[in-house]
Amino acid sequence: MASSNVHYQEVRDARGRVFRVGESPRDIMGYSRLVMLFLPWLGMMLASTLEYGWGAASATVAHEYGWSLTTAFWNYSVYVAFEAGVSYFNGRFRERATWWKPKRAMLVGGILVVIAYYFLAHSTAPWISYAGYAALGGMGSGLVYSTCVNIVAKWFPEKKGWRTGFVDGGWAYGAVPFIILYATSFNTHDFVNILYFTGVVLGGGLIIISFWFKDPPKSWWPKEVDPIAFGKSKEAWSLKKNPPAIRQMTTRQMWRTSKPPWMVLEFLFIAGTSLFGVGFYYPFAVAMHLGAIAIIAGATGFAFTDGIGRPLVGLLSDVVGRRWAEVIVYSCLGVTTIGSLVMGRLHLAIPFVIFALLSGGTSGSLFVLNPLMVSDYFGTDHQTENYGTIYAAKIVGGVYGGVVSAYLITGTGSYTWAFIVAGFMALAAAAIAALFFAPPTEAEVRRAMGDAFDSSPSLEARPPA
């Protein structure tokens, strides 16, 4: 059981960083911090089908309700808008309000996921699905996503690269069983029961695990790692390429630096590419008559490699640094997106599968690398709120990944331009990272924070151990 009487001390290093040391995870919440690795991973898996399952489910839903492709993917774009939009508010409440903590965000998210699938099962008019599945479901999955992906940096500040990728990977491959279910058994005769089943399993699971979620105190640091000499620690080797932020910056202070506008533009581009792949690889493979294996690989294979690629991307960023990992991975995504188009148009099923799997393996990298970069550059104390302002760019990316792509496809009668635009957006994101994503200098942070740069953080004072 967690103790409220454990002593800690605040340690300041030569650059003025403050670390709160002395408390173990068991002292704070009564169990190992590994629980805050595996439960967020499970939460991501449970919440992801709303997004990743739509490409496989949309054909049956559209057929049953008489929707056009554009109507179906307006639903997808509205979902993305609410899923991304709620993240900032979740972060703001989480970091500032005593009544809104990770446990409550997960509980409310689970309830909304259950409601979303009920609405989709009875969406006799598009607005019902837009309000229930897209809006309420988007807010539910957004609460889960922003809670889970940001909690890793807080509990593992000294080794968060591949762990953030591991947790984030659940967002992609967690949906694979349901994508297979939708692709094989989801038809107009039994789709309502399948949607009921999906909502109960996914939303119910989120409600159950919500009760174990808890944040560490601000500026918490594991006592087994020396906060002053962390560069020499074997446990904290990734900090050599990705040192902690110079200061714990608020959202307003972060936006006074030069980085956030470029981060938003880059995120917009790469999110558009990623969400296009999530939504359209499966119908593209169907349209190209590539056969059952290629068709399933266009959905399940894309989602599966998207998931397993995320921890690998996180590990790569530990080795080469967040910035150069973005340049490498986003360039690969741009090339493989266009390669998937070419192989599909040539009706080469096996090469298409290869490119689709490679594209999937890099597609979700932004959801690992960007939160890592935000915590490295601006600190973990306001991580959820800070990243929420960047993650909101997914709204615009979702408009391309959903409805704009659908208009391009229906307007031209071909997938060609939709794929080309998606590929070049990923290459543009890589160029932005290379040119503008150097860490903020101490002088820039000092200008952004003003007098707060030299003031001690307002933490509860206790005598040192």
Tens of pLDDT, residue by residue, the chain (465 residues)? 555 566 888 888 888 888 999 999 999 999 999 999 999 999 999 999 888 777 677 777 887 888 887 787 788 788 888 998 999 999 999 888 888 999 999 999 999 999 999 998 888 888 898 999 999 999 999 999 999 999 999 999 988 989 999 999 898 788 888 888 887 777 666 788 888 999 999 999 999 999 999 999 999 999 888 888 766 666 677 888 888 899 999 999 999 999 999 999 999 999 999 888 877 888 888 889 888 878 777 767 777 888 889 999 999 999 999 999 999 999 999 999 999 999 999 999 899 999 999 998 998 899 999 999 999 999 999 999 999 999 988 888 877 877 788 888 988 888 999 999 999 999 999 999 999 999 999 999 999 999 888 765 443 433 333
Segment holding 11, helix H or strand E: strand 9-12
**Spatial CA neighbour of 91 closest among 81, 105, 112, 110:** 105
Inside any domain, residue 3: no
Inside any domain, residue 462: no
Cβ neighbors of 103 (< 8 A, separation 6 or more) are 210, 211, 212, 213, 214
Inside any domain, residue 8: no
HSE, CB side, 13 Å, CA atoms: give it for residue 354. 8
Q: Domain residues for 281?
A: 16-449
Total structural domains in the chain? 1
Q: What residues are paired with 10 via a beta bridge?
A: 20
**Which stretches within 383-441 are classed as H helix?**
383-391, 394-399, 405-412, 416-436
Q: How far is CA 419 from the centre of its chain?
A: 22
CA 125 to CA 66: how far, in whole Å?
9
Residue 252 DSSP code: H
Confirm if 377 and 397 have CB atoms less than 8 A apart.
Answer: no
Inside any domain, residue 296: yes
3-state class (DSSP) for residue 344: helix
Give the pair of three-digit tokens for residue 272: 């558009």
How far, CA to CA in Å, does 429 sit from each of 313, 370, 422, 426, 444?
Answer: 16, 12, 11, 5, 23
Inside any domain, residue 465: no
Give the domain CATH number at 255. Answer: 1.20.1250.20
Inside any domain, residue 344: yes
pTM of the model: 0.83
Inside any domain, residue 368: yes
CA 138 to CA 75: how far, in whole Å?
10
Inside any domain, residue 1: no
How big, in percent rounded to 5, are the helix, strand and coil portions of the chain?
75, 0, 25
Q: What residues are paired with 11 via a beta bridge?
A: 19
For residue 235, count other CB atoms closer than 10 A to its CB.
Answer: 13
Greatest Cα pair distance in the chain: 70
Q: Summarize pLDDT for 179-215 with one digit per residue, the tens.
A: 888 877 776 667 888 889 999 999 999 999 999 999 9
Give the pair of three-digit tokens for residue 317: 């960023």
